Amino acid sequence: MMPSKEKIFESLLQLMSLELIRPVDLEIDWSDQETIHAFVNQAERSGVASWCFYRLLQNPENKSAHPELMARLKQRYLAVLIDNQQKLKLFREIEKILASHDIPVALLKGMAMAFTVYPEEALRPMGDLDILVPEHLVLKARDVLLSAGCQSVHIPMSEWHEQHNAHIRAMRLPPHKYLIEIHSKLYATGSRLQPAQMAWEQSVVHRSTAFGNFPVLDYSLMVYHLASHLYYGYMMGGVRLGWLVDIAMVFEKAGDVAVLMEALLKINPGFNKELLITVGWATRLMRVEKRQQLEKWESSFTDFPEIKDFLEQQDAEVRHRWIVLKNLWRTPGINNKVKGAFYQLFPSREYMAHYYGVNGGKGLWKAYLKRLGEGRMG
């Protein structure tokens, strides 16, 4: 009999621990094809399939003892490897284009993790290519990339939104198929998650690997970005296991994790309670010696999320709209609040032309009224 989804996930979670590398310890029948299929699919949905493959390879017995499981996971590993190598080529092109206009860049999220934290570049899948530039250069970066042949994929509600959202419009650089998101900050203006101070020189470091030099956030900001996104996702209705692995891996990579923790808690003190919750969850995946270095903060850690939080993703659209409105309310300056509110109700003509196919006249106002009638304000 095939185990339940919950049992499959429990086994996957055990395998994520940096202490464990033997599937025989997971109490699952690895000779059953349906079980293997369910396990690999859950690993894929959780963003950890190639990491599972790597972890199991650390014990040579696994390859011969569980050939079908290893073959299925290897397929995922190779797919991520090819995908990430193509994204690296795209990043180097974007980096070169922006550097020719004196715009520095730093990698965020998936690519930063894949190429500077995990031991191999195929162990961390990613979706979009997320790149950070200095806030005062973000619109210049947009215009430079559009002039270089990038195509707009998603249009923001207004130029005001492009300046105050965490990132500008999503773009694509043909012939590459991947989306590019250029960030000016970690979170939107007004978000309680956005650090008050983030000087470029103190935030970005350069790490050298076999694939070259990579500008990335320092470890404390990297953990902050991961942990705050994880908590945001949890509040939106779900938790992604891969993000917990990311946090554990940064702590594994860092030398003195107590020093890292002290630096993390200085970034945005108003969000420390939530940071301690998410880091506490990630300690379940860390090695014992790393957990021991975090005992000072153990009293602030909370219970691990329920398995259903990993398996069931709730509709977050309504919650997201409320967060957009809260961010707008917290945006500094009356003028900014008025502009932001206006464009939430009446987006730019470029936005309306892209999404509604109208660019002026009565059709534009009809489209505005239709949006308002549907309650679409974000």
- Please check the confidence at residue 21 and state whether its pLDDT lies above 60: no
pLDDT of res. 20: 62
State the pairing for strand pair 151-152/106-107.
unpaired
Note the pTM of the prediction, 2 decimals. 0.91
pLDDT tens track for 223-280: 999 999 999 888 887 889 999 999 999 999 998 999 999 999 999 999 999 999 999 9
pLDDT of res. 316: 59
Percent of the chain with pLDDT over 90: 62
pLDDT tens track for 174-183: 999 999 999 9
Q: Which two tokens stand for residue 232?
A: 């945001």
pLDDT of res. 209: 93
pLDDT confidence tier of residue 314, bands split at 50, 70 and 90:
low
Q: Following DSSP, what letter does each residue of 214-252 receive, concatenated?
A: EEEE-HHHHHHHHHHHHHHHHHHT---HHHHHHHHHHHH
Helix or strand or coil: residue 32?
coil
